Amino acid sequence: MSTKADTPDFSDWQQIVSLFRQASAEGKDELLLRLLLTPDERESLIARVNIFHELLNGERSQRKISELLGVGVATITRGSNELKHHDAEIRDWLSDLLLRQQPKG
């Protein structure tokens, strides 16, 4: 039983980032994600990655991306707005990261 004040032990985003770094260093990052995320949340995360990939690729309209991924246009717009908060260097890094993860073939 904790003797601390009535506050959660994990209350800072950086703590969560450190948690993921540690799990990754131990080769248990996938396990941690499966423990923390429900199947629906994992599907939402997959959709979010695909949204960023499609937006950065720039070949489809938001409406077409919405149809392709089965998500609302508002969801695509939120992803687009998030990308706008970052400079070209960050967007290029993310685009390259996503491209390197695409299946070969």
| Domain range list for the chain | 39-104
CATH topology of domain 39-104: Trp Operon Repressor; Chain A (1.10.1270)
Cα angle 83, 87, 88 (rounded to 5 degrees) comes to 95
DSSP code of 104? P
What is the Cα 62 distance to its own chain's centre?
Answer: 18
Other residues' Cβ atoms within 10 Å of the Cβ of residue 19 = 14
Within 10 A of 101 (CB to CB), how many other CB atoms are there?
A: 9
Q: Are 56 and 95 in contact (CB under 8 A)?
A: yes
The pLDDT assigned to 104 comes to 76
The pLDDT, as a whole number, for residue 105 is: 65
pLDDT in tens, the chain (105 residues): 555 678 899 999 999 999 999 999 999 999 999 999 999 999 999 999 999 999 999 999 999 999 999 999 999 999 999 999 999 999 999 999 999 998 876
pTM of the predicted model over 0.95: no
Please count the other Cβ atoms lying within 10 Å of the Cβ belonging to residue 66. Answer: 19
Q: How far is residue 79's CA from residue 100's CA, in Å, rounded to a whole number?
A: 20
